Chain A
């Protein structure tokens, strides 16, 4: 991230110096403003889902889900960490439901938990799964198309399902294969 950030920043600033030097400062502040707007949007999503997840935690629902999923977690993520499994389960369920934003806090919690046992394999695998998007129903896109007057807004459902499955499977396969070759 550091390399990309530095490279893009320097290259863009040099380009701006030549074509529009007065735009640099407004652009930076505009970016910050957008990030705050984004943070507000994210908070609205997180508040709802993390509130609900706290309820799941207290009432023992997440414990049950984690217990059901723990054999898979042990096999795939090579972890016995109980809290990590719970968060992994919540993260994957949110993703499947198409609540990508709500999935993020659980992933961050799980990654923090996995850090304690220095399980960087599981951390990276979780990242790979999340970064290839595993949602079943692309809600945002369907809403957008319906808004634009599409005759059959949901007809992209099947193609999307195929593509999201392809990308996740390919990425997980590459990652596990690469990991095996490395060692």
Chain B
């Protein structure tokens, strides 16, 4: 698996060289696009990160976790994962930090940590993605796709907790 990325790189470089593409110029041009793209993301990122910081600091997230724990345990999701499940749609870095905490508290091979890893690996930062993808576009009625994604994420979280019990 680790070989795939080097193989892709070598293939693309060699193939481009055969096709007589100016590799240096093309590569630099791609990086320039990457730079412009990153800069265009920054306002969006800044606003979202401010929101996450406030949310965490004002203890609203703790309140929300407390409110949702019973619901989660009813669905078969361990209480310890409530916070991770709630934060993941908003912030990748915050949930990654929290995942780290879970792993070091419960041990990498515990049921809780394995569950947390599977949930983390099989879900995405839904709200962040919607903000980045549709920034500056006029697409309306995003509520429907976002709800579809959130329902699917919840189902896969429940499945994750079941699967980790047997595997």
Contact = CB atoms under 8 A, between A and B. Distances in A.
Most chain A CB within a 10 A radius of its CB, from B22, B26, B31, B152: B152
Nearest to A148: B108
Contact of A159 (B4, B57, B167): B167
A52 B30 contact: yes
Interface in A72-114: 97, 100, 104-105, 107-108, 111-112
Contacts of A11: 58, 60
Given A54-B27, A131-B124, A23 B149 contact: no
A131 B21 CA distance: 35
Contacts, number: 285
Interface residues of B, number: 89
Contact of A167 (B35, B57, B153): B153
A11 B51 CA distance: 11
B132 A104 contact: yes
A128 B16 CA distance: 33
Interface string B45-77: 111111111110111100000000000000000
B38 A46 contact: yes
28 contacts: A8-B55, A12-B55, A12-B58, A12-B60, A13-B54, A16-B57, A51-B26, A55-B27, A58-B21, A97-B4, A100-B124, A105-B37, A108-B132, A108-B133, A120-B139, A137-B1, A138-B117, A141-B120, A145-B113, A152-B109, A156-B164, A159-B114, A159-B163, A162-B159, A163-B122, A163-B156, A167-B156, A175-B144
Interface of B: 1, 4-5, 8-9, 12-13, 15-16, 19, 21-23, 26-31, 33-35, 37-39, 41-42, 45-55, 57-60, 93, 96, 99-100, 103-104, 107-109, 113-114, 117-124, 126-127, 129-134, 137-139, 142, 144-146, 148-149, 151-153, 155-157, 159-160, 163-164, 167
Interface of A: 1, 4-5, 8-9, 11-13, 15-16, 19-20, 23-24, 27-28, 30-32, 34-36, 38-39, 42-43, 46-47, 49-61, 97, 100, 104-105, 107-108, 111-112, 115, 120, 123-128, 130-133, 135, 137-138, 140-141, 144-145, 148-153, 155-156, 158-160, 162-164, 166-171, 174-175, 178, 182
